[in-house]
Amino acid sequence: MEYNFVEVLILFIAVYLLFTVIKLDGRVKGLKYTLDQISKQTDVPEMPINNELRQLLNEGNDVKAVKRVRETLGLSLVEAKQYVDALKFEGK
């Protein structure tokens, strides 16, 4: 099986992009942690949507809460679910 130059180049570009995305994801998580720490120390109010989400969760509308987070904050499905779960379990 022979690979031509273009196929190998595409493979290297794909691997490079994968590692770049992984590295950026780590940086974003670090920045988020820093921002969370700063907001705790400066008493920045939480996002206004959180009250609406808590109401949806109290009514048992977890799916609607996740959908609302995705629409408002632009998060992926997994990130929105994690956000809603964090709100759900913070009061317990």
Tens digit of each residue's pLDDT, the chain (92 residues): 677 988 999 999 999 999 999 999 999 889 888 887 888 888 777 788 899 999 999 999 999 999 999 999 999 999 999 999 999 887 55
Helices (H) and strands (E) in the chain, counts: 4, 0
Across 22-61, b (16+ Cβ under 10 Å) vs e yields: eeeeeeeeeeeeeeeeeeeeeeeeeeebeeebbebbeeee
pTM of this prediction? 0.58
Question: Do residues 65 and 49 lie in contact, with contact meaning Cβ atoms separated by under 8 Å?
Answer: no
Rounded distance between C-alpha atoms, residue 21 and residue 5, angstroms? 24
